[in-house]
Amino acid sequence: MGSISVEELGEDMQSWETVMFLYNAAIKEVRTKLEILSDEFQYRNNYNPIEYIKSRIKAPDSIVKKLERQGHEVTIKDMVTYINDIAGVRLVCSFTSDIYRLAEMIGQQNDLTVVSVKDYFRNPKENGYRSYHMIVTVPIFMSDRVVDVKVEIQIRTISMDFWASLEHKIYYKFEGNAPDYIHTDLKECAELASGLDARMLALNDAIQKYRKDDKAKQQDKAKQEEVQRQSRALRDESSQEKEQ
Ligand code: 0O2
């Protein structure tokens, strides 16, 4: 069965209930995939870069505001065509080095198609916002058709998530004239959060190196003890032979 996009659904199917059903189903599919990846990490590597996963359906008033801001009509058709983040999944990881590793693993999932990427980690926004955004489509198997549904996956560290969540509450949606210092202070906080990420990553690298060196030292010590044990055994054997 060939698949179609939500935009290609017939007008009879483009009701609020149907599209919300599809976006909810898409969130479930993507969350399950990410949860399986997370479990696999744990059992294969004894290390899990995924701290937590959050998901949400965009609130109707937020959809309306975004359509108006972008100059589109407030219709289901324009909503499914132009709003890419109605279904959103956020993957919060431990270290900045995990971001691209996770993005690559998501890109390798056979039934997810990566439509676009916005790298606000390498290219932070002017206000200091850092995160890695992927728009993917996931096929939803209905009884009579397969529909490819868009989901926005945001990948970020705990400290990026901390900053973005609070900035979202304090300022992001603020449409009035806030004093300049608020913008400057928030940007400074973003720099602090980024500095924290860099220090935690350096500490993690240092401890990994220490662990590796320590393991190598233990192995060397075990080898030396084995050599000493064997030479002692040889010496004992030869002195026993001499005595006979
Ligand atoms: P809300 O209320 O979170 O839903 P696009 O059409 O995809 O090119 P869009 O959707 O603006 O344009 O893309 P982008 O930049 O990837 O942003 C998608 C979402 O990322 C936003 O959705 C926010 O959730 C988050 N985001 C982007 N920039 C910022 C920022 O500066 N601060 C914070 N806190 N979050 C940000 P919405 O619909 O704008 O908002």
Domains parsed from the chain with CATH numbers:
3-179 (3.30.460.10)
Q: How confident is the model at residue 23 (pLDDT cuts 50, 70, 90)?
A: very high
- 152 C-alpha to ligand 1 centroid (Å): 10
From 55, 51, 126, 140, select the one nearest 95 (Cα to Cα): 51
Instruction: Identify the active-site residue in 11, 51, 152, 188.
Output: 152
Ligand 1: which of 27, 85, 92, 187 to mutate, judged by most atoms within 8 Å of the beta carbon?
Answer: 85
CA 151 to chain centre: 13
The pTM assigned to this predicted structure is 0.88
* 189-215 pLDDT, tens digit each: 999 999 999 999 999 999 989 888 888
Closest ligand 1 atom number to CA of residue 164: 34
pLDDT at 151: 98
Query: Which pair of tokens denotes residue 124?
Result: 């932070």
Instruction: Report the C-alpha gap between 201 and 199 in whole angstroms.
Output: 5
**Does residue 165 have its Cβ closer than 6 Å to ligand 1?**
no
Is 73 catalytic? The answer is: no
